[in-house]
């Protein structure tokens, strides 16, 4: 098994984080765990995107991350972490376990994010499930704009920023893989 590491992929709605995380999960060595914090949040029936359920998802993901890293598996964590304080917990966990962490922030201009969210919103249930999206209607213009503005408000210099506006998901995946080597 490969050396474990913690790979964090963040970005606003429509930036490509789910697509990228799933592509990496399917192709990386070491039988990685893929943790979508939105999916973890939805383990609770009718869990809303409020501080309580978001924090509960984060705490559960931290526990899962520790369990997988301690057993030698890389972990891919995907979430719209607008605020670095939530990312820092995963990086500190990796540091405490003496494993590497990699943090990538995916982004694109607001107009592109809205266009991608509209396209995803109009996809069939089958297409949503196949792409790894939560099968509920999500990502309207207001939601995307709100999340985008949250990211702008909490901009920070940590991590590696990748503009996905002119890159295919394969390009983004390959770029991240090049940093992991």
pLDDT tens per residue across span 68-112:
999 999 999 999 888 898 899 999 999 999 999 999 999 999 999
Residue 122 maps to a domain: no
Residue range(s) defining the domain that contains residue 20: 5-108+158-180
Residue 91 maps to a domain: yes
More confident residue, 46 or 179: 179
pLDDT tens per residue across span 35-56:
998 888 888 767 777 888 888 8
| Cα–Cα dist 22/131, whole Å | 8
- Range ranked top by mean pLDDT from 49-53, 63-67, 140-144: 63-67
Residues making up the chain, counted from first to last: 181
Residue 144 maps to a domain: no
pTM of the full structure: 0.88
Q: The CATH number of the domain where 95 resides is what?
A: 3.40.50.300
Q: How many separate domains does the chain show?
A: 1
| Cα–Cα dist 9/124, whole Å | 25
Residue 121 maps to a domain: no
């Amino acid at each position: 098994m490969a050396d474990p590491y913690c790979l964090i992929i963040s970005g606003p709605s429509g930036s490509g984080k789910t697509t990228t995380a799933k592509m990496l999960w399917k192709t990386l060595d070491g039988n990685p765990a893929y943790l979508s914090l939105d999916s973890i949040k939805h383990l609770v029936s009718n869990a809303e995107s409020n501080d309580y359920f978001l924090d509960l998802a984060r705490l559960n993901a931290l526990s899962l991350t520790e369990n997988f890293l301690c057993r030698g598996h890389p972990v891919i964590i995907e979430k719209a972490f607008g605020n670095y304080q939530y990312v820092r917990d995963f990086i500190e966990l990796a540091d405490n376990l003496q494993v590497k962490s990699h943090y990538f922030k995916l982004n694109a201009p607001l107009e592109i994010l809205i266009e991608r969210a509209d396209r995803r919103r109009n996809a069939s249930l089958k297409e949503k499930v196949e792409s790894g999206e939560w099968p509920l209607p999500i990502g309207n213009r207001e939601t995307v704009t709100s999340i985008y503005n949250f990211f702008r408000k909490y901009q920070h210099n940590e991590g590696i920023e990748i503009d996905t506006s002119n890159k295919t998901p394969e390009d983004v995946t390959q770029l991240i893989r090049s940093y992991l080597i």
